Each structure stands twice: as structure tokens, then as C-alpha cells.
A = this chain, B = another copy of it.
Amino acid sequence: MSDRYLAFANSAAGRRLLRALGLPTPVRLERWAAGHARVLDGALLLAGDGDLLASVLGFAHRLSGERYAERPDRLGLPCWKLAEGPRLKALVFDASGLNRFEQLSALRACFQPALKGLGKCPRLVLLGRPPESLEDPQAASVQRALEGFSRSLGKEVRRGGCVQLLYVAAGAEPQLEGALRFFLSPKSAYVSGQVLRLAPCTAQVKDWTRPLAGKQALITGASRGIGAAIAETLARDGAEVVLLDVPAAEDALAALAARFGGRAVTLDIRSEDAPHRLVEALPDGIDILVHNAGITRDKTLAKMSEAQWDAVIEVNLQAPQRLTQALLHANKLREQARVVLIASISGIAGNPGQSNYATSKAGLIGLAQAWAPALGERGISINAVAPGFIETQMTAAMPLALREAGRRMNALGQGGLPQDVAEAVAWFAQPGSGAVSGQVLRVCGQSLLGA
């Protein structure tokens, strides 16, 4: 999990070089590290007059470790501040009570003064109700309008700040704590401009210091990069991890498995007997399944060989489907299991030179959407995480100019780290994250690219 680019960019020589190139120095993002006792270090402001704020007030002191003081006079809105401090670390605005267009002005009224008092890497979250759940068209439109606001704010906030919008269905309020523990903490350092829906879910995390305790996790493509980071992060959160990769990666895999107290399984997921062998390798079944293994074979379509097309579809799309199907048939996915597919913003926006890769990644999003209803009946969730530009061996091999452009084309002005993807997966893997299913979470620093 190297942070070398940012270390360089923030060094004296690096700053000089970036200045000469006319590029701003990216903010060094705060990330979760061992020893972090609190979800957030600093002042948290809660505002808005919807029904969701009461739920948040019920657990907010656990996030900041402070009692809250009511400040009902501020902005004319109900408003609480947790932990004193000159600058705000986080803001949760409950917009769920807004149902007339003129009430949207509360957004300006709340965020304008708040923007002036934000600290470094501030975390901003808007809460709303799913527009499709509202009968009144105006109320639905008001809630839908929040998307335009939050995505604009994400592009304005700077200082490494992130903005999300959570649509909370009636009955899903108990799952807000898990979601805010992710979105208000440095674990979501590289996640911004995202919109997610929370639905009711019966499972719940028991111990927030080890939210995955007692869970068995399988991660494919685990020998390096994002896969290794996922294995490490799931293990940190208490899961027993099974690391899977191709036979050629056996040594690296065994070393990682030993480090995380896990188990290594070598297997070519393209092989005919892979599903059978995987089922055999998991006698007790698993709670967490992360399909991370993926390859690129970039060429414009005009020059792409049949082998290049087929390899990418087989590894990235066909293998996850075959393996999941086999695990389901063999009853190896336990009740309340969490399945996470690693997609890509290429699968959302398309990408020149990656028609095979984008097809495979769009297909993974399709798998999450298609499987979610049936799996939901067993309490199993399935979601896709779509990374943007992540600093890995894969991206390090890109030509410099393309790499620098890729890094810069997002609201945070920098690439993400494998850890950022891993933290999103770890959140999706939690029991309470059954509240989210059939959805896509981008880990892209609010990349400008999209559809």
C-alpha cells in the first residue's frame, strides 16, 4: 500500500516540479490507520429537520466520543454540534423532511456557513428518502434534486473533502450507524459524489472494533494490489481470510496468508474444474465472497484479437458467475453472506481501448443487479465496487502523461490507493450492510468521468 506518489508530490522537489507543470499539489488524504480509536477526530455538526436526525442523535456520541450540545437557533434549523473545535470535521444534513421546492434553500442556508468552517478532509453526508418511495411527485423531485446538489458540492468542497448522499428507506434507520461509521471516517477517504440507498436489514454488527469477527471470507486475485489490500483489511476487521490466486502466485500468496493468519488456495479460476475445486476447498462455507481477480488486455476494438476479448470476459465476468453459482448450488454461501464484485468506472463510462474490459465490468454490475432480489430472500447482499484511478502495479505501467491525467481527473485531484477500495469492500462485508444490495459504489475521488 504505497503512498509514494503523494509523498513525492508533497516533497520540496515534487512541489517544485508540479508547480513548473502548472499542476496543484494534491491534498494528502487522511486514511484510517491502526490505533484510530474514534470514527472521526473533530467536531461533528448535525442539522436538518427530517425524521432521520433522531436516529443519528441516538448513536452520534459513539462516533465522536463526545456528548452533544443542542444549538437549535443556528440557521433556524434544528442543529447539534458534537465536540468543540474551531473547525468542523464532519457534517450530516438530514434533508429527508424537505418536500417542497422552496425548502431546497435550506441546503444553501446550512452548507454556505458550514463550508467556511471546515477542517482538513471534511466528511459531508446528506440524508434523504428514496425518491421512488414517495407518492407526491414534488416531494420525490425534491429528494431527487439532492443528487445534483451533492455532486456539485463534491466538486466545490476541496481540502480533500468528500460528499455523499444516502437515501434511507423507512425501516432502514438502524443501518445508518454502520453507513456513517464508513462515510464519516477516513475509511472513505477516496469515496466522494456517491449516492446509495439503504433498505431495512435484520443483521447488525455486534462489535464495532471487529465488525467481521467470526466471518469467513474468500478473496480472489489476492496475491497483490487491490486483492492483497482487501484481504488485509478484512483480516484487520476480524474475518478469517482465504486468499485465492493462480498457481504462479503461490509464494506471494502463502506469505500474505501467513501474515494475515489466513489460508492460501491456488487455483486458475478459468479452469474447467475450478468451481468444483473451490467448493472442495471450503468445507464450512463462507460469509464473504469478494470477486477481485481481473485482467486487462487493452486494444482498440479494431485491433483486438479474439484471444484478448475472450480472456478478459472469461476471467472478469464468466469466472465470478461460475464460482458464485457453484457455491450457491453447494450451499456454501451462508445466510446473510456478502458478495462484492470489483467492477470499474470503465464499466460505467466506457473507455477507449477497453471495450472488452468495460463490457466485462458492466456485466458485473449487471450480475449484482440481477442477483440481488433472489439472494435477498436469504439475507445475502451482492454489490459492485467500481474503482477509478488506483495507484497499483497495473496503473504504474501506464505512460506518464496518461497516468498523470488519470490521476487528476477527479474532484480530489489524485489517484486512490488499494486500501481505499479495500475499505469500501470491508464496509459492504459487514452484517448491517445487507441494507445495500444490487448497487454500485464508486471509489474514484468523484472522477469526472461517467455516463
- Taking beta carbons and an 8 Å cutoff, which residues of A are in contact with B? 101-102, 104-105, 107-109, 111-112, 115-116, 131-132, 134, 137-138, 140-156, 193, 195, 300-302, 304, 306, 309-310, 313-314, 317-318, 321, 346-367, 369-371, 374, 448-451
In this complex, what residue of B is CB-closest to A442? Answer: B451
> Given that A108-B301, A156-B352, A366-B131 are contacting pairs, would A318 and B144 also be in contact in the complex, using a CB cutoff of 8 Å?
no
Specify which chain B residues have a CB less than 8 angstroms from the CB of A140 in the assembled complex.
366-367, 369-370
CA distance in complex: A128, B131 (Å) = 28
Q: Are B151 and A350 neighbours in the complex by a CB distance under 8 Å?
A: yes
Among B141, B300, B302, B356, contact of A317 (Cβ-Cβ < 8 Å): B141
Main DSSP-derived SS at the A contact region: helix
CA distance in complex: A350, B81 (Å) = 28
A326 to chain B, nearest CB (A): 13
CA distance in complex: A394, B213 (Å) = 57
A51 to chain B, nearest CB (A): 20
Q: Are B359 and A152 neighbours in the complex by a CB distance under 8 Å?
A: yes
Specify which chain B residues have a CB less than 8 angstroms from the CB of A109 in the assembled complex.
306
Number of copies: 2
Q: Are A132 and B350 neighbours in the complex by a CB distance under 8 Å?
A: no
CA distance in complex: A39, B154 (Å) = 43
Q: Are B318 and A362 neighbours in the complex by a CB distance under 8 Å?
A: no
Specify which chain B residues have a CB less than 8 angstroms from the CB of A357 in the assembled complex.
148
Q: Are B321 and A138 neighbours in the complex by a CB distance under 8 Å?
A: yes
Known: A104-B309, A144-B369. 6 other contacts (CB 8 A): A101-B314, A142-B363, A142-B366, A147-B451, A152-B352, A349-B448
Specify which chain B residues have a CB less than 8 angstroms from the CB of A150 in the assembled complex.
350
> Given that A153-B301, A350-B155, A358-B152 are contacting pairs, would A366 and B144 also be in contact in the complex, using a CB cutoff of 8 Å?
yes
Q: Are A152 and B448 neighbours in the complex by a CB distance under 8 Å?
A: no
Q: Are A105 and B309 neighbours in the complex by a CB distance under 8 Å?
A: yes
Q: Are A101 and B321 neighbours in the complex by a CB distance under 8 Å?
A: yes
Among B306, B310, B365, contact of A144 (Cβ-Cβ < 8 Å): B365
Q: Are A370 and B134 neighbours in the complex by a CB distance under 8 Å?
A: yes
* Cβ contacts A to B, 7 pairs, < 8 Å: A108-B309, A148-B350, A150-B350, A152-B301, A152-B358, A156-B302, A349-B448
Q: Are A112 and B302 neighbours in the complex by a CB distance under 8 Å?
A: yes
Specify which chain B residues have a CB less than 8 angstroms from the CB of A195 in the assembled complex.
451
Specify which chain B residues have a CB less than 8 angstroms from the CB of A353 in the assembled complex.
156
Specify which chain B residues have a CB less than 8 angstroms from the CB of A374 in the assembled complex.
137
CA distance in complex: A81, B296 (Å) = 34
CA distance in complex: A154, B354 (Å) = 12
Q: Are A369 and B156 neighbours in the complex by a CB distance under 8 Å?
A: no
CA distance in complex: A451, B450 (Å) = 5
In this complex, what residue of B is CB-closest to A321? Answer: B138
> Given that A370-B141, A371-B137 are contacting pairs, would A359 and B450 also be in contact in the complex, using a CB cutoff of 8 Å?
no
Q: Are B318 and A359 neighbours in the complex by a CB distance under 8 Å?
A: no
Among B137, B302, B364, contact of A367 (Cβ-Cβ < 8 Å): B137
> Given that A151-B358, A155-B350 are contacting pairs, would A145 and B363 also be in contact in the complex, using a CB cutoff of 8 Å?
yes
Q: Are B350 and A145 neighbours in the complex by a CB distance under 8 Å?
A: no
Specify which chain B residues have a CB less than 8 angstroms from the CB of A310 in the assembled complex.
102, 105
CA distance in complex: A306, B112 (Å) = 10
Among B104, B156, B355, contact of A156 (Cβ-Cβ < 8 Å): B355
